[in-house]
Chain A
Amino acid sequence: MKSPAPIASAAQSSVAEKKRGFAILDSERWLGPLLIGPAVIYILLLVGVPFFMALYYSVSNTTSGGGTMGFVGLRNFSGVIGTPKFQTALKNTIIFGLISQALILVLSNALALALQHEFPGRRLIRFLILLPWVAPISIGTIAWLWIFDSTYSVLNWMLRLTGLIQGQGFMWLGLPHLAMGSIIAVHVWRQLPLATVILLAGYGSIPQDIHDAAAVDGAGFWRHFFQVTLPLVLPISLVALLFGLIFTFTDMVIIYNLTRGGPFDTTQVLASLAFYTGIAGGDLAEGAAIALFLFPLLLAVALGFLIIAHRAEVT
């Protein structure tokens, strides 16, 4: 990455300054927009336009058959809010998001602490830890489907081996609370790696003298961690948390593959409910309305990133 390319001498670069002055007048004013334009247009067409279409759909009566596109006001929203299905999905979205992020925050800090110093085998462990993040998620959840299998669950076998359970074992995906626990576990499995590597980058960036100073002052492990390390990695923990929130709240793959929202729609979240209503059920308008309930959350996360970006610019 570090460029081996020729570095111009000071004399040359002062000439370049003069020459660049002309070049800017000639073409650079247009070159910037020209280079960035295609990307911006592409994004506007395929993210911006559909986004406003989603807004419009949510106040219309569009179905996948084409049908009419009449304006129905907030009827989709009001119709959807009252249903138990929606309320369960909303509640689950929040529960899954909060519990998994709380677990991830604690575990990723523990893991980053354990990994922050060099030791033999560290690279291998880091690779193994990263696997769930870099492997395609729809594929990874299928492995869990097999682990949670009602008859051949290897998890039940291991529990029987340790004597924790006897007989048949648990129906991991068949009972509402167990299914929710299983889904949260897979979420943690999937997202802990990203949070851990982000935090590791944060831990690595703390200058050693700060740790030394704390040691000289006689700070013990916990005091050192809570009063020195943690405040310094707080901004970057926030980045990890924001990514985690967005990936958990908007994910439907894990639900789709593990439980399909079942048993009896008890594990449905907003994203999966929007899919089953809008695509499988064909009611595009209502599906769009359900998906839009995710929007305030996304707005909050985007705001968080803006604040971080601003702070990074200032410091």
Chain B
Amino acid sequence: MIERIKLWGVRSTRWGILGTLTFFFAFPFVWMLITTFKRSSDLYDLKHNPFLFYEWPTLEHIHRLFYETLYGQWLLNTAFVGVLVVLITLALAVPAGYALARLTGNWGAKLGIGIFLTYLVPPTLLFIPLSRVVVNLNLDDSLWSLVLVYPSFTVPFSAWLMMGFFKAIPKDVEEAAMIDGCSRLGAFIKVVVPISLSGILTVAIFSFALVLQEFVYAVTFISSVRHMTVGVGVPTFLVHGDVYFWGSLMAGCFIASVPIAILYNFFVDRFIAGFTMGAVK
């Protein structure tokens, strides 16, 4: 009997914790979704229950977002920067990760940790000098400034992740290829890279998500509305607009956050393995 009460107590505590915290985590996104589809007259009536629809749902907010603001342009800008940054990151981090895993021996391990640590140097320490660099290169208010600067934080962690992926591949794989007459570089390109595609994809998604996340550099370097990324355009430009703009604003938030979150979710265990630096075996 006491055992059963105990078990019941454990279960209800567990579900209590899970229920409360999951609500806390997911609520802003639920709230975005509700706000997106509510008519303004319904949304701004203080007598209404905010969770219920008193009038039919509407697409007017989404329509307004794409046709009366530069939101679509911001999405394109973000995609443009994101794709280029991913390409630069892969070009730099994949070879670097391979070198760290296989070719550099003892000093490579130290260099690897050094590279990992640069990931910890935050934009808030660097954005002031970099703003000057960007002006001197005539890149201010240009998306190219972001393309140039973003790899500085995507490359370190990506190289670190790639190193982990490459270390997990047995050495025999390359050695077999090298017996067949490949050089080390040839074996890397023709044999190792193709079997590491899932790792490379992980790094690509990670880098793209970081581009979407970034705020400090984008708000510092970009001044005109047309050139903003979605992460800056929504909070700086849309918020300052009309007060009764919450429907479109929340639609913009939902579209920019949930799809990437779903994608990221598939890869999250690999990031954690990288984050924990081998402290967990």
Contact = CB atoms under 8 A, between A and B. Distances in A.
Contacts of B116: 305, 309
A54 B265 contact: no
Contact of A12 (B21, B92, B179): B179
Contact of A36 (B31, B111, B173): B111
A86 B109 CA distance: 40
Interface stretch (A94-102, A223-231, A284-292): A284-292
A139 B265 contact: no
Contacts, number: 340
A178 interface: no
Q: Which of A35, A57, A252 is packed against the most chain B CB atoms within 10 Å?
A: A35
B169 interface: yes
A72 interface: no
Contact residues on A (Cβ < 8 Å of other chain), bracket: 35 or more
A305 B124 contact: no
B175 A43 contact: no
A143 B31 contact: yes
A271 B124 contact: yes
B121 interface: yes
Nearest to A249: B122
Given A198-B276, A235-B279, A302-B117, A139 B257 contact: yes
Given A139-B234, A140-B28, A32 B261 contact: no
A39 B191 contact: no
A42 B92 CA distance: 9
Contacts of A261: none
Contact residues on B (Cβ < 8 Å of other chain), bracket: 35 or more
Given A131-B261, A142-B239, A39 B179 contact: no
A250 B127 CA distance: 12
Given A13-B175, A38-B96, A135 B281 contact: no
12 contacts: A16-B175, A27-B185, A33-B104, A35-B98, A47-B156, A64-B132, A138-B235, A140-B257, A143-B31, A145-B239, A198-B272, A239-B276
Interface of A: 1, 3-8, 12-13, 15-17, 19-20, 23, 27-28, 31-33, 35-36, 38-40, 42-43, 46-47, 49-51, 53-54, 57, 62, 64, 107, 110-111, 113-115, 125, 127-132, 134-147, 149, 151-152, 154, 157, 189, 192-194, 197-198, 201-202, 205, 221, 235-236, 238-239, 243, 246, 250-253, 256-257, 270-271, 274-275, 278-279, 284, 287-288, 291-292, 294-295, 298, 301-302, 305-306, 308-309, 311-313
Interface of B: 10, 13-14, 17-18, 21-22, 24-29, 31-32, 35, 43-44, 46, 49-50, 91-93, 95-96, 98-100, 102-104, 108-109, 111, 113, 115-118, 120-133, 148-149, 151-152, 155-156, 159, 165, 168-170, 172-173, 175-176, 178-179, 183-185, 191, 195, 198-199, 209, 212-213, 215-216, 219-220, 230-232, 234-235, 239, 246, 249-250, 252-253, 256-258, 260-262, 264-265, 268-269, 272-273, 275-281
